[in-house]
Structure 1
Amino acid sequence: MKKIVLSIWQLKPVKWLRRMRSFKLIYTPLIAIMLFTVVMGVIMGTLQLQEKGQQEAALFRELSFAKQRIQLRFANNTDVLQSIGRDYIISSESAKAKENVVIQAENLLQSNHEIAQIIWINETAQRQWKIPMDNLKTDWFNKPENASVLNQALKKTIELSAATNRPAFSQFISLEVPSDELISKEIRNVFWQAVPQIYGSEIKGMVAVLYTTQGVLEMIPGELKGQYRFTLITDSEKILAISSDKNTPKRAFSNQTSLDLGVLSPNLSLRIDTYPPATNLSFRMLIGVVLGLSAFVIWSLWSVLKQMQVRQEAEANLRAETNFRSAMENSTPVGIRAHDMNKTITYVNPAFCEMTGWSAKELIGQNPPFAFWPEGLRGELNEKMNRALELAMSQEKKIGIEGSILHRNGTVIQTRTFIAPLINEKGTQTGWVTSLIDISEPKKIREELAASQERFVTVLEGLDAAVSVVSNETGELLFANRFYRERFDNTSKGHFALAGGEIIQNTMQALLEESDNTATTNIPPSFLYKESESEEIQLLDEATGTSKWYEVRRRFVPWVDGHLAQLLIATDITIRIEADDLARQQEERMQFTSRLTTMGEMASSLAHELNQPLAAISNYCMGVAKRLQGHIDPDLQKDILPALEKASDQAHRAGTIIQRIKGFVKRSEPQRKSCDISEIISDAVGLVEIEAHRHRLSISTEIAKNLPLVDLDPVLILQVLVNLLKNSLDSVREVYPLSSRWSAPPVQISADLDTSTFPAMLRIQVTDSGGGIAQSVIERMFEPFFSTKSDGMGMGLNICRSVIESHHGRLWAKNQMDAEHTKLSGCTFTILLPLESPGSKATS
């Protein structure tokens, strides 16, 4: 183990050797792949060229054979024609002999499909006989559009032959034959051959033969035409005849040659084109095997290359990691030493040597008790080491043990030691690794802090603010003053609630980056004691069930044991927040009450002026009724007295309504008192019922029995109910026209107790049968200045919610669906109010 550790840390590879090795590992497989690819490409190219040469050679042989066949046929035909002409001249006096000659010509015509017609022309250029006389082909030859062309070409051919005394050929003649005719392909292109018959030194006649270009291709054997396509073409690349209409492939081989039928023959070329050859299975299998082997070799070489690259990368990472660990262990102030299973020291880093004053050679190989242990503490330290080794394997979280080290110069250093098992690559433990931290200075600081703690604890205990300190590593509550313990008990739960969750490690990391230091102990005080901005946190007091507001400040501080901790100071600002909230509520109330001031003054004046005339009307009606009793006819009394009484009742009712309006608009300071909710609902219905009757609508009331009295401001609640009832009436008016409002369901207002909450709350609901409220409107209907009415200011529902929330209640709206759940059939506004105000409950 000692030799392995030393060899790893003292490894210094030579750069040029590493580069050469890297070159071999990387470029050798690449060169091999390139060479193999080039060789296989040359082999495949050679095979391809060889195959192409063989095909071209075979093509040339077949073309030469076809050319010879055609030339030989024409030569034989010329000889036969000369023989026929010679026999015909000799047998000019014998009719039987002439008939035999004609029979020979017919046999020649029948045995040679390329010949379409044979004509005998005497020395005076007169046609004496022709074969055949009449057939499908000769009919087209006799057509006027074709006969003149054929005769003119024959005449020129005869003249050329007579001038040269040799067989002569005409130019190629294209006949006018419909393409749908069966013989159109055979006789479309023809040409003449005139064979002179020289007897002695004079021309005694000529044999003219009409050849078809399509028939010339019939001279080629059928097996050749099955393998190749033959084409007769002129010098101008005009196609005269083709053996097959089947197309050849794009990469087909082609060759052509001039036929040279005679001295006076036209320029005629024969072209040959290859069809797709039959599949050469063995050659293709060979190519497939070669390609497969090539791909496999390339893949194998590529795999070797990738493995080499992975290995080289792993070696580079190992070297980088080794250098990094070496630099880290040589630069760290933490002392590190390694032990084998017998506790013998096998490795020490420079920091440990600096701590003890001993060199690495002197320390390696020592067994406990070690020379750097103080003389009087060796037994205790040996026992601690044995106990720590036993617990090192079982504990997931390593906890350091405190001890002492004796420097060679006699100085005692206080240390904290951490022990961990040393595991090799096979997962087997081979020893132990211990790291020592010098805590002499932190321990001295802890002692000084412990002495000074008693002086400021008394001050902290007397503060009216919560002071707490929590460990940044373990989250343990390190300190809490009296105020904190009274509010949050003696746990760190309250600290985390005030801090907004777990301690944020990024805050400390940001401080480290700003200070350009890597050690916590070297952070400047300007960063370490940097106080965060104050935050206002709302927490629920579980003891009283109320919410408390705290102004929280926190900072990071070093604790007495040298570890980082978080200090938090929380001041109770509930009274200030409540005062601010109350001021805000008062301001909101002023916003919507200021608009009613003028209307209230006018309504009060109007109520004052109308009360006296209405009272007088009521008194006059009652006085007239009393004076008329007993002095008028009984028949008139039953008609007049009820009318006067009804008029008096209506005048009294009008006075009551005016008194309600006057009480509604007479706004005073908010004042809670115990009220009967049924009376408030009755007043609200009375105020709105006049408008409801004017629009032919009605309001129904349903109030549960034995409802308790509720502490609230009756004027504000009355205002909320009036506003909600008016909105419900407006919703019904939009759905039902004036002519059908008699069938509209009444707007319902109900009051009962909601026992689903604890404690129970008073529930008031206003339900209408209108068209409901759109979802987008429900989400914003309680916002200030949001209104769907053209003349609305958008403050009504916002004021209603503010009033209800000032009573610690809730207000919301919910649409109602019809029986089929297909469309909206109205809306319900629900109000929940506590039966007792929080202030009265706290006072009691």
Structure 2
Amino acid sequence: MGLFPVLAVLLFAMAVVAAISYLRMEEMQAEQQSVQRDGEHSRQRVNLRLAERQEQLQKFGRELQPELASPAAFADRVSLLSLDNPEVLDVTWLNLDGKARASKEMHDTAGYPLPRPGMGLPLPQEQVLLDEVRKSRQARYVVVTRHEGEDAFLAFMLPLGQRDAPDSFLYARYNLSSLLYYAIPSDVFASYAVSLMDAHKRVVAGQSVNPDDEKIAWWQLWSSMHSSVYNAPLATVDNVLTLHLRAYRASGSMTNRGLFLLVLALSALTAWMLIANWLHLRRRQRSQQELLSETSFRRAMENSLVIGMRALDLDGRISYVNSAFCQMTGWSAEELIGQRPPYSFWHEDDHTRHHRILSKTLQDQIPQGGYVMRVLRKNGTTFEARIYMSPLIGVDGRQTGWMSSMTDITEPNRIKRQLTNAYERFTRVLDALDVSISVAPLGSKELLFANQAYRHWFTDDNAAGHMQMLTKAGSPGAPVEGVARNGEDTLAGLPTTALQDASNNTEIYLAGLGKWIEVRSRYLEWVDGRLAQLVVATDITARRQAEEQSAQHEARAQAASRLVTMGEMASSVAHELNQPLTAINNYCNGMISRLRNGQIDQEALLGALDKTSRQAQRAGQIIQRIRTFVKRSTPNYSDADVETMVVEAVELAEIEMRRRNVRLQYRVERGLPILRVDKILVEQVLINLLKNAAEAIDLAGMLAERRHVRLDVSTAVREDRPVIEFSIEDQGSGLSQETLDHLFEAFYTTKAEGMGIGLNLCRSIVESHQGRLMAENIYNDNMVTGCRFTFWLPIPTTPVSRDSQTITS
């Protein structure tokens, strides 16, 4: 029913448009037929006139004799043609080679040069025409234009003489505008824009009307979509010209225009009335639909609520309840609507209280936060609910009653009790820990949380102890002093990364408590949204004491290892000291004997004393090296030169090497950076490894050519960091797989009198310097030819570089 007005409007508009379209199509068809008829007649007239001129020129050529080739005689004969041929501009007689014999201008050539006797054709198009006629031996036409936009003319050339062997050519030029003017009737020019176009669709003569330039009235827009046009080629000129006719657009008569406007106005009025009626009907239907939708939406919203809604009139009588209220109480809407106090869902023990609250509500003394009541269901069970009351205002702005909402708070109360119990359990667990836990906001002395251990350590109720631990430990994510704070907000003084991810673990000593404390802190967001710091402090006094005792035991073990090493080398050291002492004794006995016999002068005496002094210095150096090596001292990390450490270790190790008849070769790369290490401990590692290599060769009974040990010291990159690598290679019998698996374990040894602590201590020393110690066999094909011990120490971040050279000994 709602679409009927629209269909009526559409049918009426289609009928009007169809009638006007039919009449216009009939009119356009008649116009097109008229244009075709006049265009065909004009084309025949032009073709006929060109054919007549061609026959005249052919006849003129046949009568042309070579003896009449003088310009004067040729001009006289051509003058006779000009009387009946106003469109012919000039005629030229050409030789076979294209040179003009004679020429005669019949009318104004519009600036085009006339070929002179003995000269060729002046324009390139004319030369092309001559070549085509000479090649085809037939008459040809061509449209000639010197420059675009200038007047063009029609060129015609005719071969003379025998058909197969022409001896000359007759060349004539036509004025195209004159050709149209004399060939086409004047009534055609009055009705049409007549023009001639060349092969490139360019107008070369006549008048052309551009439909885009014509002004069209708004009522002529549809009719302007169709133009009456005629195009046809002129068959007698080799299709080089096209006759083009376009009808002038004629303005309609006042009567037709008035009738058209009247029909249009009546049609618009009728359509407007129908559309207005249809729109009014649509608005009315839409309003009804919106009202129905709004009512359905409000009812659905009320029924979907989990909150019970109840309306009371001014006397306290129930006038409305929603489905949620009925589901909560178990009473139907029919049973509840119309009830007066006391209501059926009031508990008997609470009538007095409910009457008092309802009386205050009816007197506009509404409780701001609502009130809690015990609701009695129809089946006799009860539940806790919170009631809110508010005035019910009608559309006229007057109060018509009261609206109340009821929410079942049984489950929230149960959850609240569970949360309270969980909080008590959580607090009890935290209080039972021997770890101090405290939380305080940034920039405040308020203590948000503290467990029993914190309150036991710090008796104050404020955050003084919390701030004391943070001050000594430093804030999480805080920059190191002296380092640029690139990752910090300069305004707030806080790290720009996520604060919850920033943490800090630090060990501090609290003199007031006499304890070593491990402090772990991080940022967190408190329940009220404030940024706070959590500090977890653990008493590590016992652990620190145990670590100190362990460090002391390790130092004693290292000293004992050095003493054992010297004990094992005692015979070698004694042999090494015996040489300088024997030399000193011999020098002294020799000098005494010669002094008694008076056989020594002062110069010889001084030489003998100098040699004795050098032997004594040699013995003193050996004793000093041993004393420095075995002297017990606390760890001393200092800047140490790698070359000096290697040389001093080699001097002590070579004593054992010489005793076992083992040759030592060492190579130290020059320019090595300074290391910050305990020099004595690193030398102890080198001496132990070199001594073990010599023992391996001696116990394997190697021949003299294989009794040598090689030490290489150079820079390398290990674990993505620059290091100095020490490599000791021997040519002994190697290590078994079982030995390699347990090589660095404490008290594991393959020696009959060994204690199994040497290599274990070596690895502990290297790892205490952040380095690594490794062992592997050396293979030649599948045969073990020796063993290689390698350890490396990291280079400081700012090494002291030197000239890159190599020391070899």
After TM superposition, is the score higher than 0.5?
no
TM-score range, shorter chain: 0.3 to 0.5
More helix by share: 1
TM-score, scaled to structure 1: 0.40
